[in-house]
Amino acid sequence: MERKRFIRTVAFVSLMPVLLLAACKETARKGVSADGKKQTYTCPMHPQIVQDKPGTCPICGMDLVPFDKNNKEASLTLSESQIVLGNITTMAIDIGTLSNFKQLNGRLVSDPEKTAVISSRVPGRIEVLYVKETGVKVNKGQPLYKIYSEQLASLQQEYLLAVAQVKQFPEDVRFQQIEKAARQKLVLYDQTDAQINQLLQSKKVSPYIIYPATVSGVVSELSVSEGQYVSEGGAIMRLEGYQQLWVAADVYPAEASAIHIGQSVKVLVAGWENEPQTMTIQFINPSLQSGSQLMQIRGTVPNPDNRWQPGLQAGVLLPVKSKGDVLSLPVDAVIRDGKGSHVWVEIARGKFEPRMVELGMESFNAVEITNGLKEGDKVVVTGAYLLYSEYILKKGSDPMAGMVGM
């Protein structure tokens, strides 16, 4: 008898792990957690999707994640490393002045006063172009092109003949006048005194002449190529100076009444929004632009080190109104959806809770908080959307689902 009892005990102990493993598999298959509670799953992007087994979201196709639906705590606690990785920063909200601006779409344009067209002073053939591409910076006095001109050679020969006549008949006033006129023609063709004196010494006519840059600037347009014939006054290239740029902005006629010449405005250049520039409005176009219902305003801004180029987008901020003694936050601190607007407040170190707020006046980078916060509250200003997503991931519900809009 004792032997049989011993054999049954040994067999039961041997089968226990197999039975427990089978029970765990069946529990997992039925979606039951280790503590015996039914496991639930939700979509991180669509918390309204809730089911009691793993799967994918029917809306976006993401894998469902487990969550504890019995956890009703409204706050969210993060570790120090999570706060750093999520770039979550806070600021204490305080009372101050909020200015409202209307942003006009604008762009940087080259200043015509800093633009020069290099043209040929003589007809002839472009023998050499020393600058062969746009975007190249040239300095005043730098050689730009060499031209072959038969007309210039004729004028040089005419001048040498006039000088010889004066030497032959030094008392003849008429020959002296002819010599002065011939020299003046060479001067009008940009021949310098040094070049004319060299011609007198060498007595050799040269049909080639090198023309230097009359101003400094950047080559924005090339109108000729080597070997091309040009007429007198024909355009060779265009030079633009970028030390100062126009800012041209579009405005509707109904808004033009709030703008006047001499008004000071802020300009935000795309990519340099953290360096606003102050501009004075210098011109308001009295007529609408062709094919549109927009007017145009214009001013100038300095361009140190030529860091900006014509064509860059720029926003012009027109002051509209301002309010004093208001609570305001950066625009990105507020999360808005169909249920209203809310922010995240740090109630303890690493512990955050959502809070419904009412909004007032809003500018391009700040918004007034009229209800829901008080002075001194520590509000999350960067990483608010990460907290929102983390809450949905852990709780499986919208943080604003149980709150009543203000």
Tens-place pLDDT, residues 214-231: 888 889 899 999 999 998
Query: pTM value?
Result: 0.51
38-61 tens-digit pLDDT:
677 777 667 678 888 888 988 888
Shortest CA distance to 144 belongs to which of 29, 230, 19, 261?
A: 230
Q: What is the pLDDT of residue 239?
A: 92
Average pLDDT across the chain, whole number = 81
Mean pLDDT of 374-392: 86
Q: Is the pLDDT of residue 24 over 50?
A: no
Q: What is the pLDDT of residue 173?
A: 86
Q: What is the CB neighbour count within 10 angstroms for residue 168?
A: 9
* Distance from C-alpha of 226 to C-alpha of 228, rounded to nearest angstrom: 6
Three-state secondary structure of the chain: CHHHHHHHHHHHHHHHHHHHHHHHHHHHHCCECCCCCECEEECCCCCCCEECCCCECCCCCCECEEECCCCCCCCEECCHHHHHHCCCEEEECCEEEEEEEEEEEEEEEECHHHEEEEECCCCEEEEEECCCCCCCEECCCCEEEEEECHHHHHHHHHHHHHHHHHHHCCCCHHHHHHHHHHHHHHHHCCCCHHHHHHHHHHCCCCCEEEEECCCCEEEEEECCCCCCEECCCCEEEEEECCCEEEEEEEECHHHHHHCCCCCEEEEEECCCCCCCEEEEEEEECCCCCCCCCCEEEEEEEECHHHCCCCCCEEEEEEEEEEEEEEEEEEHHHCEEECCEEEEEEEEECCEEEEEEEEEEEECCCEEEEEECCCCCCEEEEECHHHHHHHHHHHHCCCCCCCCCCC
Q: What is the pLDDT of residue 16?
A: 45
115-239 matches 101-112+242-319 in CATH topology = no
Distance of CA 12 to the CA centre of its chain: 75
Domains of the chain by residue range: 2-67, 76-100+322-395, 101-112+242-319, 115-239
| pLDDT band with cut points at 50, 70 and 90 for residue 86 | confident
104-149 tens-digit pLDDT:
889 999 888 888 899 888 888 999 999 999 889 999 889 999 999 8
Q: What is the pLDDT of residue 34?
A: 46
Task: Look at 193 and 1; give whichever has higher pLDDT.
Answer: 193
Q: What is the pLDDT of residue 395?
A: 65
Question: CA quadruple 262, 265, 269, 274: dihedral positive or negative?
Answer: positive
Mean pLDDT of 249-259: 84
Task: Look at 222 and 99; give whichever has higher pLDDT.
Answer: 222
Task: Look at 73 and 135; give whichever has higher pLDDT.
Answer: 135
Q: What is the pLDDT of residue 238?
A: 92
Give the angle subtended at the CA of 109 by the CAs of 108 and 113, to the nearest 5°. 135
Q: What is the pLDDT of residue 202?
A: 86
Q: Is the pLDDT of residue 211 over 50?
A: yes
Q: Is the pLDDT of residue 26 over 60?
A: no
* Distance from C-alpha of 196 to C-alpha of 147, rounded to nearest angstrom: 17
Mean pLDDT of 241-253: 89
Q: Is the pLDDT of residue 240 over 50?
A: yes
The two three-digit tokens of residue 99, written as one number: 């200015």
CB 383 within 8 A of CB 375: no
170-179 tens-digit pLDDT:
888 888 899 9
Q: What is the pLDDT of residue 246?
A: 92
Domain covering 76-100+322-395 in this structure, CATH number: 2.40.420.20
Domain 101-112+242-319 has CATH 2.40.30.170: yes
Angle between helices 150-168 and 193-202 (to 10 degrees): 70
Q: Is the pLDDT of residue 337 over 70?
A: yes
Match domain 115-239 to its CATH number in 3.90.1150.10, 1.25.40.10, 3.30.465.10, 2.40.50.100: 2.40.50.100
Compute the residue count for the chain. Answer: 406
Task: Look at 199 and 15; give whichever has higher pLDDT.
Answer: 199
Q: What is the pLDDT of residue 9?
A: 52
The two three-digit tokens of residue 19, written as one number: 């039975």
255-288 tens-digit pLDDT:
787 788 998 888 999 888 888 889 999 999 888 8
Specify the range with the lowest mean pLDDT, choosing from 72-76, 96-100, 352-356, 364-368.
72-76
Q: What is the CB neighbour count within 10 angstroms for residue 398?
A: 18
Q: What is the pLDDT of residue 30?
A: 45
